[in-house]
Amino acid sequence: MALRLPPPAASAANITSKNRGRFAAGIDIRAAANQKIEHDRSREAYTSRPRKSPSPLGTAEEMASRLGHDIAVANLERLFWQQTAGGDRPPADGGSSGRPVRVAYQGSRGSYCQEAATRAFPSSACEAFPCAHMEDAFAVLEDHSADRAVVPAENSLDGPIDRNLDLLLRHPGVRILGELVLPVNHCLLSLPGAPRSGLRRVISHPQALSHCRRSLEALDLEVDEVCSAAEAAKFVAENRVADTAVIGSKMAAREFGLWVLEPDFQDQHLGGNFNRFLQLGLPSHAQGLSSSSSTSGRRSEQKTTVAFTLEDGASDLFRAMWIFESRGVKVLRVDHRPNRAKPLRVVERGGDGLGTATYLDYVFVLDVEGSASDPAVEAALVHMKEIAAFVRVLGSYVCTCHPR
C-alpha cells in the first residue's frame, strides 16, 4: 500500500532492481508531470489528458523533454484556478443545495485513497476528485472547494503517516469527522487478454512491493520500483504494455480497464494488513452530511483525538494519560510530533552544579474512547488544560472497521 515512502533501497531490497531501468524512470517522470496538472474541479478536470509515448518503453530522456512544457501548463492552470477559487464555485454547503457532495482524496485516480473515498461515500451523489499534493487536501477544504477530504493515516505494518498528522496540527480549522479501517488488497494487474506466461516484469510502489515480497519471489520476474502504483497502472493501460504487470488496487483496475490476475497478492501476515484513513472537514459543515462510516461496517465506536504539549515533556506523559484513565476513559493510541512552535526544551538539572540540559520538545497526540461531549471526556479535557500549555481537540468521530 502506498502510504509511506521508505528509503528507496531498504524495504524491498531483495526483490527490486538495484538500478532502476528506463521503463520505471519514464513512469516516474510521467507521474510527476501528471500530478502537476491535476486541479480541483471534478474528477475529469483533475485528470491530465492521456499522452501516448512513441514506445511503451520510451526512454526517460524522451519523457523528460516534455516535462518542461507540462510544468509551464500546470503553472498557468494553477494560477487560473487560484484566481477563480472564490468566484465561480458554489459554497460547500454540505449538499443542501442538491448538488453532489465534493470529496477530495490524496493521491491519483486509481489509488487506495480513492478506493477509501468511495467506500466512505458510496452514493452516486458523491463527486470525488484527487489532490496531487498532501497539502492540497487541506487547502480545498479551507477554500470551500470540497465538503470532505479523505486522507491516509496509517498502515498496520509500516506505521503512521506523520505528514498528515503535522498538517492537521498546522490547519486548526480542519477536524477529523470520521475514520475508516480497511484491509489491504494488493492486486496483480495486467492488460486484458495479455497471457500471464508473457509477463517479464512487475512494477509498483516500494511499499506495495515490500508487502508482496514472498509472492513476487514465487513469480521469478524482474521487479522495478515506481513512485506511484496508480500512475504505473495508467501508463501500462494507455501504452498497451503487455509484458508488464502492476501491483495496485481494484480501483486502478476499474479506472484504467486492467484485468485482476490475482487479488490479495500481498503476503499473508498473521494479524493481517490494514490501512487507516481519516475523513476530514470543517466543523461548520459537520451537520447534515454523513458518510457510510457512521452507519456501516462490522464495528463502530466513538473516538476523540486530542493534541497537547507538556512542560516536562515525555516524563509527564503518564499524568496526561492518567487524567483520562482515572475517569474510565481508555487511551487507544499515543503519538508525538515535533513542537514547531517551541522546538527545544531547556531543563534545569538541579543545584549541584550540573547546569542545564536541552532536549527536543514534542506535541503529543492521544486517541481516547468516547466523544468530547461525553461528561467523563469533557472533564478530562478541562483537567488537561490545567497541566498542558496547549490543548486542542482534533476531532470526535465514529471509527468504522471492515475486517474483510
DSSP character at residue 292: G
CATH number of the domain to which 168 belongs = 3.40.190.10
pLDDT value for 197: 92
**Rounded alpha-carbon distances, angstroms, from residue 378 to 168, 175, 199, 252, 363:** 21, 17, 58, 43, 20
> Is 46 in the same domain as 160?
yes
> Is 199 in the same domain as 341?
no
> Is 135 in the same domain as 159?
yes
pLDDT value for 16: 44
Task: Check: CB of residue 246 under 8 Å from CB of residue 190.
Answer: yes
Q: Which residue has the cell 475486517?
A: 403
pLDDT value for 18: 39
Task: Check: CB of residue 37 under 8 Å from CB of residue 75.
Answer: no
User: Is 302 contained in some domain?
Assistant: yes
**Which amino acid would we find at residue 177?**
L
User: Is 289 contained in some domain?
Assistant: no
**Rounded alpha-carbon distances, angstroms, from residue 267 to 11, 157, 211:** 14, 12, 6
pLDDT value for 234: 97
> Is 215 in the same domain as 184?
yes
User: Is 292 contained in some domain?
Assistant: no
Segment (H or E) for 229: helix 229-239
pLDDT tens for the chain, 404 residues long, are: 443 333 433 344 444 443 456 566 666 656 555 555 454 443 343 333 333 333 333 444 444 444 444 444 444 344 433 433 333 333 444 445 567 899 999 999 999 999 999 999 987 788 999 998 999 999 999 999 999 999 999 999 999 999 999 999 999 999 999 999 999 999 999 999 999 999 999 999 999 999 999 999 999 999 999 999 999 999 999 999 999 999 999 999 999 999 999 999 999 987 889 999 999 999 876 555 556 554 444 445 899 999 999 999 999 999 999 999 999 999 999 999 999 999 998 888 776 667 888 999 999 999 999 999 999 999 999 999 999 999 999 999 999 988 77
> Is 174 in the same domain as 133?
yes
Domain that holds residue 313: 297-398
**Which amino acid would we find at residue 157?**
L
> Is 154 in the same domain as 240?
yes
Q: How many domains does the chain have?
A: 2
Which of 232, 260, 283 is where one domain is finished?
283
Task: Check: CB of residue 37 under 8 Å from CB of residue 131.
Answer: no
pLDDT value for 214: 95
Which of 226, 260, 283 is where one domain is finished?
283
> Is 303 in the same domain as 276?
no
Cα distance between residue 39 and residue 130, in whole Å: 8
> Is 113 in the same domain as 173?
yes
Q: 62 burial class (0-12, 13-18, 19+ CB within 10 angstroms)?
A: middle
C-alpha cell at position 259:
484485468
Task: Check: CB of residue 380 under 8 Å from CB of residue 386.
Answer: no
> What value does the CA radius of gyration of the chain take, rounded to a whole number of Å?
23
DSSP character at residue 213: H
Neighbours of 162 (CB within 10 A): 14
Cα distance between residue 173 and residue 139, in whole Å: 11
User: Is 215 contained in some domain?
Assistant: yes
**Which amino acid would we find at residue 304?**
T
pLDDT value for 292: 56
> Is 36 in the same domain as 139?
yes
> Is 228 in the same domain as 318?
no
> Is 310 in the same domain as 269?
no
Q: Which residue has the cell 461525553?
A: 374
User: Is 169 contained in some domain?
Assistant: yes
For residue 329, how far is the Cα from the chain centroid? Answer: 28
User: Is 404 contained in some domain?
Assistant: no
Which of 255, 283, 311 is where one domain is finished?
283
Helix (H), strand (E) counts: the chain = 12, 17
C-alpha cell at position 219:
513469480
CATH number of the domain to which 301 belongs = 3.30.70.260
> Is 121 in the same domain as 236?
yes
C-alpha cell at position 126:
458523491
